[in-house]
Amino acid sequence: MKRSRIAMLMDFLLVIPATLIFGLRLTGRAYYLTSTLIIIELLVPFFLAFESRKPQARELVVLAVLSALAVAARVVIPIPSFKAIFAIIMLSGMAFGPEAGFLVGAVSAFASNFFYGQGAYTPWQMFAYGAGGMLAGFLFAKGRLPKNRWVMAAFGFLTCVCFVGPLLDTCTIFLTLPRLTAKTVWPIFLSGLPVNVSQGLCTALTMVLFGNPLLEKLDRVKVLYGMEEDDGL
């Protein structure tokens, strides 16, 4: 396993969760500090992944453009809890690999909250969206799942409902409940289910309508700029 993969797994399993817990213990506007720390932490495996082949600035520009597109997909659609941001994050991971999916997800969550308002939930959104993009990269960029529009739509829906959404609901639990019990935790997960389903439906619809055409264009960009993924997980 290459060191970029090891660094990414350590980030995902140890460092970022520890940063989130550390952020919960701080007061005031500490979420800005936590968000910045997470961005720095997720940049480490990203740059390690490209270190061996000396990436050019245009490759970073591509990921910056994808992050901006993901922000626009969240801001432009006026329907609450019906945003296409996660579809763009998924496509980034599918086209350029887990590191890129994680980076685009975390950065777009942080940047889009300048329109919706930063808060203690921001680091959790960065972590949840980044983890979802990374998962898409692991499963699709490596060929473990086919890049079929219906498979991508099903994956997007299930990931929103069963993974990204519950992670964000967990943030609500830690921020609002003074004491954790089954009677207090489950109502929060249940109340968040309609929001997660709505977000999952938007993601699935986006993948059905635009998933394959956007992937084709991203694949052309990858070939044009030589953004070939390294072997790993």
Average pLDDT across each block of 10 residues of the chain; the chain has 233 residues. List them in order: 66 80 69 70 66 65 92 90 93 88 90 86 86 91 88 96 91 77 86 94 95 91 71 45
Domain contains 196: yes
Domain containing 63 equals: 57-225
- Residue 49's pLDDT is 62
pLDDT digits (tens, 9 = 90+) for 208-232: 999 999 999 998 888 877 766 554 4
Residue type at position 219: D
Report helix, strand and coil shares of the chain as percent, to nearest 5: 80, 0, 20
Domain contains 231: no
Domain contains 116: yes
pLDDT digits (tens, 9 = 90+) for 55-93: 567 777 888 999 999 999 999 888 888 999 999 999 999
User: pTM here?
Assistant: 0.80
Domain contains 37: no
Domain contains 14: no
Domain contains 11: no
Q: How far is CA 223 from CA 96, 204, 209, 229, in A?
A: 11, 27, 24, 11
Burial class (CB in 10 A: 0-12, 13-18, 19+), 191: exposed
Residue 174 half-sphere exposure toward CB, CA atoms < 13 A: 16
Domain contains 51: no
Domain contains 17: no
CATH number at residue 138: 1.10.1760.20
Structural domain tally of the chain?
Answer: 1
